[in-house]
Amino acid sequence: MDQDPKAKQIITEFTRMQSERSTYETAWRDIRVYVRPNAVDFSGSQSPGDDRSTRMYDGTAMLANCDLAGELHADLFNPAQRSFGIEVEGPAELNRDGDVLAWCETVADAIFAEYSDDRSMFTASGHEALLDVGSFGNAVVLQEWDTDERHLIFQTFALAYCFYELNKNGQVDKLCRMEPATLRQVLQRFPETTWEGIDREPKEKKFTLLHMVQPREDREYGREDGMNMPFSSCWVLREKGIVLKEGGYVSFPYHCPRWSKTSDETYGRGPAINCLAEIRMLQRQQWTVIRAAEKAVDPPLVMPSDGFLMPYKTSPGSINYVDPSYATDDIVRSLEHTGNFPVTFEMMQQEREYIRKCFYTDWMDEIPKVERQTAREIDVLTERKLNKMAPLLGRLQTELMVPMIQRSFELLMRAGFIPPAPAILEGMTLKVSYVSASARAQAAGEVSAMILYGQQLVPIAQAQPDVLDAIDWDAFAQELAIKQRISSRIRRTPEAIAAIRDQRAQQEQAQALAGAAEPVSKAVLNLAQAGQAGGIAA
């Protein structure tokens, strides 16, 4: 059967992308063994259910990666607290408008509600992605819309199956994903699939699906059907060279965060690559210590023989025979074993400390546990820790959170889950803001400076009250709330504040008038009473 030209082109592209990435996989194979053992093997030699920890003798790097992923997850994907907000790019006054603030809060809450929904698999997929980023330096997350259940759905795919390329701006915009599947699974997903002799194929026969997503070069602008969207989507059955399905996406559906990268590389580098030599060394040291411990507990034996010699055996519990003429006695004895365990343990501890530092666990555990510690001291240490975390989140926010939230907004808008925007926002661009713990910690210095400035004016105002006129206290309060990422739902707008003050002024004026009228009323009443009394007397 001749291959479809488009399928042949995609298969050729996939083969080229595989070949170009092979140099990265040399280090990734060891990282998978020692840091991320549950990940899919890059060589494809393992089968489902295989024991993937047979070469691991020390779990320091694996646990450090789990700690790093957990710390990042708490800041980026916390299911109990929204870590982002929606703002408008434009004048600052626009983001203080009551209708704009209310709409932006509604949009952010609608997106976060999808992320908090267990059906979306957002939390689980996010944690898997962070484990991949910490170990391999790369991750691949797919975000789509479930048309049947009407909700967002996230899925993290094995890096071993995903290959991508960058555009001129260094952003991932082309990805080919490989997916193993049986013929039964292929027919369930693509029921129209057919080729000559398909009926004779066993349903459990293994095939390879290829999903290629890339910018569409030829399309008719203005049309929004699957064949004219900005990104093309094509499913190919590799073994048969046929196209199973074609379509498109309005935005790139895959999110590919990278921990760090150099300007001339496509794929990122994770913390594990910085200490890979130490990880390998620690594994070898641990294996040597295990063997030495076995010899110390169950040493090899030396015993006389009856005229024949055998090679020395040094494994635990082994027996070595010696010629009687060289034997000093006829008693069976242990083969002496000497080794410097303290030196070995010291070297291993140094390796472990360096590995933990590469995964930033030294500052993640920065808050010491002491008997007496004030709340302010704890706050300062927490802020210091979160400030250290902020730079690490920079690329993850840019390459994962921002495109993820933007695509979520697009999908929810198309599904009718986003209310219409205020008329004032017509033609304006939205942007993502961060309200996580690390974002607040970054603003903590400026917030402290503002509060300290206000406190310093208090003693001066006791001698010179007019000094307080130097501050616009309304603007001060609003700016302080913005810096601390306080929700707009509990902040009054300038218009609402003005209305409250007008009402208060009217009440005070009415009370003042009532207070002024009271003496007059009493005087009139007294005169009236006096007049009545005089009339009676007359």
pLDDT tens digits along 100-150: 888 998 999 999 999 999 999 999 999 999 999 999 999 999 999 999 999
Q: Does some domain include residue 211? A: yes
Question: Which residues have CB under 8 Å from 359's CB, separation 6+?
Answer: 61, 64, 65, 67, 68, 134, 271, 272, 275
Q: Which of 364, 392, 414 is the last residue of a domain?
A: 364
Share of the chain above pLDDT 70, in %: 78
Residue 217 has pLDDT above 70, yes or no: yes
Among 185, 139, 115, residue whose Cα is nearest residue 28:
139
* Residue 334 token pair: 């242990």
28 in the same domain as 171: yes
Residue 307: what pLDDT? 41
Exposed/middle/buried for residue 84 (C-beta within 10 Å: 0-12, 13-18, 19+):
buried
251 in the same domain as 167: yes
Per-residue CA distances from 15 to 18, 57, 287 (Å): 5, 35, 38
Residue type, 140: V
How far is 432 from 91, CA to CA, in rounded Å? 16
No. of H helices and E strands in the chain?
14, 13
Q: Does some domain include residue 82? A: no
Exposed/middle/buried for residue 86 (C-beta within 10 Å: 0-12, 13-18, 19+):
buried
Q: Is 314 left (phi over 0), alpha (psi -120 to 50) or beta?
A: alpha
Q: Does some domain include residue 74? A: no
Least confident of 124-138, 151-165, 214-228, 238-252: 214-228
Q: Does some domain include residue 76? A: no
Q: Which of 345, 364, 383 is the last residue of a domain?
A: 364
Among 180, 179, 143, 137, residue whose Cα is nearest residue 36:
137
**For 366-386, what is the mean pLDDT?**
63
313 in the same domain as 251: no
Question: What number of other Cβ atoms are within 10 A of residue 20's Cβ?
Answer: 13
Among 27, 70, 93, residue whose Cα is nearest residue 428:
93
What does the pLDDT look like over 313-351, one tens digit per residue?
667 667 666 666 655 555 556 656 666 667 678 888 999
238 in the same domain as 171: yes
Q: Does some domain include residue 403? A: no
Q: Which residues constitute the domain of residue 293? A: 277-364
Residue 2's pLDDT band (boundaries 50, 70, 90)? low
239 in the same domain as 287: no
Residue 439: what pLDDT? 66
How far is 254 from 94, CA to CA, in rounded Å? 32
Coil, helix or strand at residue 172: strand
Residue 337: what pLDDT? 61
Residue 56's pLDDT band (boundaries 50, 70, 90)? confident
Residue 54: what pLDDT? 74
Residue 538's pLDDT band (boundaries 50, 70, 90)? very low
288 in the same domain as 208: no
Residue 207 has pLDDT above 60, yes or no: yes
37 in the same domain as 167: yes
How far is 435 from 386, CA to CA, in rounded Å? 13
180 in the same domain as 38: yes
The reported pTM is 0.79
How far is 275 from 279, CA to CA, in rounded Å? 6
Residue 410: what pLDDT? 94
Q: Indicate the pairing of strand 231-237 with strand 254-255.
A: unpaired
How far is 187 from 245, CA to CA, in rounded Å? 12
* Residue 67 token pair: 């700690």
Residue 33: what pLDDT? 93
Residue type, 267: Y
Q: Is 157 left (phi over 0), alpha (psi -120 to 50) or beta?
A: beta
Residue 443's pLDDT band (boundaries 50, 70, 90)? low
Residue 412's pLDDT band (boundaries 50, 70, 90)? very high
Q: Does some domain include residue 537? A: yes
Question: Which residues have CB under 8 Å from 100's CB, separation 6+?
Answer: 88, 94, 422, 424, 425
300 in the same domain as 239: no
Exposed/middle/buried for residue 41 (C-beta within 10 Å: 0-12, 13-18, 19+):
middle
Q: Does some domain include residue 510? A: yes
Residue 464's pLDDT band (boundaries 50, 70, 90)? confident
Residue 480's pLDDT band (boundaries 50, 70, 90)? confident
* Residue 239 token pair: 């073994």
285 in the same domain as 203: no
Q: Which of 364, 390, 409 is the last residue of a domain?
A: 364
Query: CA angle, corner 75, sides to 69 and 77, nearest 5?
Result: 80
283 in the same domain as 234: no
Query: Are 133 and 259 spatial neighbours (Cβ–Cβ below 8 Å)?
Result: yes
Q: Does some domain include residue 154? A: no
DSSP symbols for 320-333: EEE-TTT-S-SS-E
Residue 146: what pLDDT? 94
Mean pLDDT of the chain: 83
Residue scoring higher pLDDT (136 or 44): 136
Residue 22's pLDDT band (boundaries 50, 70, 90)? very high
Residue type, 138: N
How many structural domains is the chain composed of? 3
φ, ψ for residue 397, nearest 5 deg: -65, -40
Q: Which residue matches tokens 């701006």?
A: 169
- The sign one gets for the Cα dihedral 272, 276, 278, 284 is positive
Residue 66 has pLDDT above 80, yes or no: yes
Q: Is 221 left (phi over 0), alpha (psi -120 to 50) or beta?
A: beta
329 in the same domain as 190: no
How far is 271 from 60, CA to CA, in rounded Å? 13
Exposed/middle/buried for residue 128 (C-beta within 10 Å: 0-12, 13-18, 19+):
buried
Residue 188 has pLDDT above 90, yes or no: yes
Coil, helix or strand at residue 119: helix
